[in-house]
A and B are shown apart, each in its own frame.
Chain A
Amino acid sequence: MTVFALLIFLAGTTSFVLSFLICLFGTRFLIQFLLRRKMTVLDYHKPERPQIPRPAGPAIFGGIVAGEILLFFFSSSYAILALALVTLISGIVGIVDDLATLGGLAKPLLLLIGGIPMVAIQYLAPGASVYSSRLYLPLFSHPTYLPILYPLLVIIAIPVTTNTINTIDVLNGVMSGTLLIAFVPVTVAIIIRIYLGLSSIWILLATLPLIASLLSFYFFFHRYPSKIFPGDSGALALGGAYGAIAIIGGVEIVAIIAILPAILNSFLFLSSVKKLVEHRQVSVQPTILLQDSRMVASTDRKAPVTLVRLLVSTGPQSEREITRNIFKLDAYCAGLALITALLIWVIPLAK
Chain B
Amino acid sequence: MSWDRGDSGASASSSHGGAWTALYVTLVALLVALLAASLLVIAFDESPARVFALVVAHTLGEPYGAGQALFRATTLVFTGLSVALAHRAGLFNVGAEGQLVAGSFACAALGAALPAGTPAVLALPAVLLAAAAAGGAVGAIPGVLRARFGAHEVITTIMLNFVVSGAVLFVARTWLFAPETIHTRAVVPGATIPALGLGGSAVSWAAVLALACALGVTWLLTRSRFGFELRAVGQNPDAARAGGVNVGRMTVIAMAAAGALAGLAGSGTVLGYKHYFEKGLGADAGFTGIAVALLARGNPLAVLPAALLFALLAEGGLAAGARVPREIVDVMLAVIVIVLAVAAAETRRVRASAGDGA
A binds B: no
Which B residues have a C-beta under 8 Å from some C-beta of A? none
